[in-house]
C-alpha cells in the first residue's frame, strides 16, 4: 500500500456509524440454482475478511433467472444459514427498471426496496442505494422515499451509485441525514472519478467510495486491450512482479491508495479469485509507481 497507510483497517461507511472491510464482494454475476455453491461463495468472501456484500434488484436480469434473481439467491443462502446475516453489511440498490430505464419516483423506490427485502428475506437493508440517477425525479421526491424507508426501519444507511457530484449535492440538500456512500466506476482503466469531482466530493463530505468494476470489467487480463490498456498492464506488472502478486492485486491496491479510501467491489464468482483479492492488502507501491499507472491510463504525461 502507498506509504504508511494501514490497508487492513476497516473503512467507515461515511457517517453512518457502520464500518466495512477494505474490499467488498459484488453480486452482479451471482447466479445459479445450487444454494450450496452460492453459500460457499458467500462463506469464502466472509472467511477472506470481506464484510460488505453488494447486490441490486437488477442483478440477474441478463440471465435466465431474471430480474431480482441475485437477491433471491442470497435470500436462499441466508435462509439456509441465517447465522451468516450478522457477519456482513448488506448493501442493495434499486431504481433501474427494464425498458424504462430509470425510476426514482417516491412510490417506485419504496416498492422496489420492499420487494428487495422480500427477496432477500431480511427485515432491513444496511445500505440502500439509488442505482442510477433518474433525471425525471425531483431530488426532493427521491429524498422523501429514502426518509420514509429509513423511518420505517427498512433501511439504515443511504447511498447513491453513478451520480455526478451535482446530483449528489441536489439530493443531499433534501435529506435530513448525510449520504453514506457514492458508488462510481473506478479502476486504472476508468480514472474519471479523479477529475470529475466524485472523489473530491467524497473527501469534502466524508462519504465512503465503493468502486465498481475495479478490474476494468476483466480487461486487465489483457484480452482485447488497446495500446493505452497495454501500457496500464505494463505499469501494473512492474509493481506486481517483484512482489509475487498478480496485477489484479496491484490494481485493487492502486484504487485503495487514494485518500478517500475507496472500497473496491470484487465481482469474482470463483472462490480462489475471491481469496486472491486479499493479496491487494499486502501490495506496496511508491508515489512514483502510483503516478506511473495513472500516467499510463491517461495516455499523456502529467502536467
CA gap 234, 296 in Å, rounded: 9
pLDDT confidence tier of residue 8, bands split at 50, 70 and 90: confident
CA gap 183, 117 in Å, rounded: 21
Please, how many CA atoms are within 13 Å of residue 2, restricted to the half-sphere of its CB?
16
Q: Is 103's pLDDT higher than 70?
A: yes
* Confidence at residue 3, expressed as pLDDT on a 0 to 100 scale: 47
Region 225-233 average pLDDT: 93
Question: How many percent of the chain have pLDDT more than 90?
Answer: 94
Q: Is 7's pLDDT higher than 90?
A: no
Q: Is 172's pLDDT higher than 90?
A: yes
* Confidence at residue 1, expressed as pLDDT on a 0 to 100 scale: 52
Using CA atoms, how far residue 277 sits from 30, 48, 160, 186, 273, in Å, is 17, 9, 25, 16, 6
H-helix or E-strand spanning residue 150: helix 139-151
The answer to whether residue 59 is catalytic is: yes
Region 97-101 average pLDDT: 97
Q: Is 267's pLDDT higher than 60?
A: yes
Instruction: DSSP for 63-75, please give it.
Output: STT-TTHHHHHHH
pLDDT confidence tier of residue 5, bands split at 50, 70 and 90: low
pLDDT digits (tens, 9 = 90+) for 33-74: 999 999 999 999 999 999 999 999 999 999 999 999 999 999
Using CA atoms, how far residue 23 sits from 81, 203, 251, 295, in Å, is 23, 19, 12, 25
Residue 49 three-state SS:
coil
Q: Is the pTM of this model over 0.75?
A: yes
H-helix or E-strand spanning residue 138: none
Closest by Cα among 28, 138, 23, 129 to 73: 28
Characterize 121-160 residue by residue with b for buried, 16 or more Cβ atoms within 10 angstroms of its Cβ, and e for exposed: bbeebbbbbbbbbbeebbbebbbbbbbebbeeebbbbbbb
CA gap 45, 51 in Å, rounded: 8
Q: Annotated catalytic residue: which of 59, 108, 128, 163?
A: 59
- Residue of 217 and 233 predicted with greater confidence: 233
Amino acid at each position: 500500500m502507498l506509504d504508511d497507510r494501514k490497508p487492513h483497517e476497516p473503512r467507515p461507511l461515511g457517517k453512518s456509524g457502520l464500518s466495512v472491510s477494505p474490499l467488498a464482494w459484488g453480486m452482479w454475476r451471482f447466479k445459479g440454482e445450487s444454494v450450496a455453491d452460492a453459500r460457499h461463495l458467500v462463506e469464502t468472501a466472509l472467511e477472506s475478511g470481506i464484510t460488505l456484500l453488494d447486490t441490486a434488484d437488477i442483478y440477474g436480469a441478463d440471465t435466465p433467472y431474471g430480474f431480482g434473481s441475485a437477491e433471491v439467491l442470497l435470500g436462499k443462502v441466508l435462509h439456509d444459514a441465517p447465522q451468516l446475516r450478522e457477519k456482513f453489511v448488506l448493501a442493495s440498490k434499486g431504481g433501474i427498471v427494464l425498458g424504462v430505464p430509470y425510476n426514482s419516483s417516491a412510490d417506485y423506490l419504496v416498492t422496489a426496496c420492499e420487494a428487495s427485502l422480500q427477496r432477500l428475506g431480511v427485515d432491513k437493508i444496511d445500505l440502500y442505494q439509488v442505482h442510477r440517477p433518474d433525471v425525471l425525479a425531483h431530488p426532493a421526491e427521491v429524498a422523501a422515499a429514502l426518509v420514509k424507508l429509513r423511518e420505517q426501519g427498512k433501511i439504515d444507511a443511504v447511498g447513491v451509485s453513478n451520480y455526478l457530484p451535482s446530483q449528489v449535492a441536489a439530493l443531499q440538500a433534501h435529506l435530513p441525514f448525510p449520504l453514506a456512500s457514492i458508488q462510481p466506476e473506478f479502476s486504472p482503466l476508468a480514472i474519471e472519478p479523479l477529475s470529475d469531482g466524485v472523489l473530491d466530493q467524497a473527501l469534502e463530505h466524508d462519504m465512503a467510495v465503493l468502486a465498481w468494476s475495479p478490474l476494468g470489467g476483466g480487461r486487465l487480463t489483457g484480452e482485447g486491450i488497446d495500446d493505452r490498456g497495454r501500457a496500464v498492464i505494463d505499469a501494473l506488472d512492474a509493481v506486481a512482479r517483484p512482489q509475487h502478486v498478480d496485477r489484479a492485486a496491484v490494481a485493487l491496491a492502486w484504487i485503495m491508495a487514494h485518500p478517500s479510501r475507496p472500497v473496491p467491489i470484487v465481482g469474482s464468482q470463483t472462490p480462489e479469485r475471491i481469496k486472491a483479492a486479499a493479496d491487494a492488502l499486502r501490495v506496496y507501491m511508491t508515489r512514483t509507481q502510483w503516478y506511473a499507472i495513472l500516467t499510463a491510463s491517461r495516455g499523456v504525461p502529467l502536467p
